[in-house]
């Protein structure tokens, strides 16, 4: 059975309370349930994680090398700044789907740059919480 790490970065623990006009009313716990349901449907195992710490996220990406077959990554604001996360992804050589709730290309200029996209298999953004099951389905296809 294939296994996927779904890793959420800074401030995503506040989903549901944080700028609901941008990110919606869905909490991260709701999203985890959506992901579990999709994983059951596709016969996948998932690990769902969140950290506000760039180093902790890098450690989880490194550990994924031995534990998972691919990663879905919503790196939050680190998407736009972190060469270190980009290098971590290159180092583990696992397929990664970059994910965002909001359409980062329709927002401020600084959100148009993504270091993650440079090493990702693909990018899903702008579909809110529904993007998570979409990303699971896309990664599952890629792992066939």
CB of 109 to ligand DQA, least distance (A): 12
Does the annotation count 132 as an active-site position?
A: no
Does the annotation count 78 as an active-site position?
A: no
Integer Cα distance of 24 and 52 in angstroms: 20
DSSP string, 26-51: --HHHHHHHHHHHHHHHT-EEEEEE-
Q: Are 125 and 103 in contact (CB under 8 A)?
A: yes
The smaller minimum CB distance to ligand DQA, of residues 69 and 74, is found at 74
Integer Cα distance of 111 and 134 in angstroms: 22
Residue 100 near ligand DQA by CB under 6 A: yes
Q: Indicate the helix (H) or strand (E) that contains 49.
A: strand 45-50
Catalytic residue, chosen from 78, 100, 115, 132, is 100
Residue 76 near ligand DQA by CB under 6 A: yes
Q: What is the spatial order of strands in the sheet that 3-8 belongs to? A: 45-50, 3-8, 70-74, 96-100, 122-125
By rule CB under 6 A, what count of residues binds ligand DQA? 10
Among 14, 29, 77, 106, binds ligand DQA (CB under 6 A): 77
Q: Which residues pair with 72 in a beta bridge?
A: 6, 97
Residue 38 near ligand DQA by CB under 6 A: no
Residue with tokens 């990554």: 73
Among 27, 56, 81, 111, binds ligand DQA (CB under 6 A): 111
The smaller minimum CB distance to ligand DQA, of residues 3 and 102, is found at 102
Residues near ligand DQA (CB under 6 A) are 11, 74, 76-77, 79, 100-102, 104, 111
Q: Which residues are catalytic?
A: 23, 100
């Amino acid at each position: 059975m294939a296994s996927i790490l779904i890793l959420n970065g800074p401030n995503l623990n506040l989903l549901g309370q944080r700028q609901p006009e941008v990110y919606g009313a869905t909490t991260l716990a709701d999203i985890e349930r959506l992901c579990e349901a999709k994983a059951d449907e596709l016969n996948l195992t998932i690990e769902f994680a969140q950290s506000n710490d760039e180093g902790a996220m890098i450690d989880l990406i490194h550990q994924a090398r031995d534990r998972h077959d691919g990663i879905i990554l919503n790196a939050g604001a680190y998407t736009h700044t972190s060469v270190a996360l980009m290098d971590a992804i290159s180092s583990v050589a696992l397929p990664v789907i970059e994910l965002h709730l909001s359409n980062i290309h329709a927002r401020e200029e600084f959100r148009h740059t993504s270091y993650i996209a440079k090493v990702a298999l693909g990018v899903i953004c702008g579909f809110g919480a529904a993007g998570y099951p979409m990303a699971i389905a896309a990664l599952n296809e890629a792992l066939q």
